[in-house]
Amino acid sequence: MRILVVGSGGVGDAFARIVARRDFAEAVVMADRDLVRAERTVAAVRERHPHERRFTATTVDASDSAAVAAVAREHRATHVLNAVDPRFVMPVFSGALAAGADYLDMAMSLSRPHPERPYEETGVTLGSEQFEAAARWEAAGRLALVGMGVEPGLSDVFARYAVDHLFSEVDELGTRDGSNLTVDGYDFAPSFSIWTTIEECLNPPVVWERERGWFTTAPFSEPEVFDFPGGIGPVECVNVEHEEVLLMPRWLDARRVTFKYGLGDEFIEVLEVLHKVGLDRTDTVRVGSADGPVQVSPRDVVAACLPDPATLGDRMRGATCAGLWVTGTGTDGRPREVYLHHVVDNEWSMAEYGAQCVVWQTAVNPAVALELLARGTWSGTGVLGPEAFDAVPFLELLRDGYGSPWGMQEREPTRVLDLTAAEQMAETD
């Protein structure tokens, strides 16, 4: 397997550090518009692994599908991993197909709200452009594994596992994400791409119900307090647009599918202010300067003014939790409620990999998926989500091969029972 990684930001850099410890890849090419950034990742890998020579650096324009295809061909890439923000999904996706390579991403093609009823009906939904191309990928015998990060990604693997092994009937598949992270020296410093965060948090959230199909609500709607494990505790979560809601119903049967994110009042307030003054816009505006007027994107300006999340690891404290809350009827015919979760502590990820916990947690999942594809454990053609594959090999490899255990809580109104991943999988064997 020869992997072209498009993007050497926080997630791409963490992916390289993770894969350097595994032997399934013959070559890993880090490609970025900024060659220095790609070279910095390769140097970081070699600093920790002095004899590592599988990693090289190059440049690529992720907005140009022909350029992506050319770099993939030049390096004989068998797989293209998209590690740039979602505005570049389609050119990287198309470039991989043109080069005859398989493709993975961690965020899907962008949505566009319904022009008249944005908070009631869907317009162009997340990933729809990619699914429209499924027949071409199938005809070419190539696989596009979409939404294979942590959320979407691991949350979708959890959903497959719950449907196959824990429940006879599912009422709700509810992704719930929260953390207790703080960043020393900053009043406001997002731990993930602010460009992507603005996109998903200010777009109309999508909900799926068996009787209604997909529909939308207002941003930050339906607040609930969710109690997260790993020392994080109760966090208020709100509806946010996310790929899980568009992916899970394509393969899994449930009455309802939701995504809620623990943002916090301050974060929501900042996002609302950015929206009110137009700083969330992606179209360019004309700005005067000493050298004459220039065209700039307000959202790009916001991103440029905030610290790079990849550089915050040494200042971050706390942990992040991604997971799936599932309710319904257990395999024994009794009501059941569980929370499948994956907690990563920042102190651990920095000590082990030199990567902050949010980007590490995102990057480990495509690494596991690629290893399963390299082994032949997972295979397929067309445009597929993580739900299309057997969850057990993934969860076993994440725990045993990558040393990153997941867990499950049995939840009832009066108690919460923690089960380790090993205990849970033993119960269902």
- The per-residue pLDDT for 277 is 85
CA angle 401, 147, 145 (to 5 degrees): 75
* Residue 419, pLDDT above cutoff 70: no
In the chain, pLDDT over 90 holds for what percent of residues? 77
Long-range contact set of residues 110-117: C-beta below 8 Å, sequence gap at least 24: 110/86, 110/199, 111/203, 111/206, 111/241, 113/203, 113/204, 113/216, 114/204, 114/216
Give me the torsion for CA of 212, 214, 219, 225, rounded to 10°.
Answer: 70
- The per-residue pLDDT for 413 is 54
More confident residue, 305 or 102: 102
- Residue 415: pLDDT band with limits 50, 70, 90: very low
* Residue 287, pLDDT above cutoff 90: no
Q: Which residues contact 14 (CB under 8 A, 6 or more apart)?
A: 310, 353, 355, 359, 360, 362, 363, 364
* Residue 394, pLDDT above cutoff 50: yes
Whole-angstrom distance, CA of residue 195 vs CA of residue 185: 22
State the DSSP string of 235-258: EEEEE---HHHHHHHHH---SEEE
Rounded to an integer, what is the distance from CA 197 to the centroid of its chain?
A: 11
DSSP E strands: which ranges in 188-296? 206-209, 213-216, 224-228, 233-239, 256-261, 285-287, 294-296
Exposed e or buried b for every residue in 44-75, given b needs 16+ CB within 10 A? Answer: bbeeeeeeeebbebeebbbeebebbbbbbeeb
Helix (H) or strand (E) holding 327: strand 319-330
For residue 233, CA distances in Å to 134, 246, 277, 297, 324 come to 41, 28, 34, 38, 16
Token pair 């799926």 is found at: 208
Instruction: Indicate the pTM of the whole model.
Output: 0.90
Pairing of β 382-384 and β 143-145 = parallel
Per-residue DSSP letter, 307: P
> Which domains are delineated in the chain?
2-105 (3.40.50.720), 154-357+405-428 (3.30.360.10)
Per-residue pLDDT tens for 188-230?
767 667 777 787 778 899 999 999 999 999 988 999 999 999 9
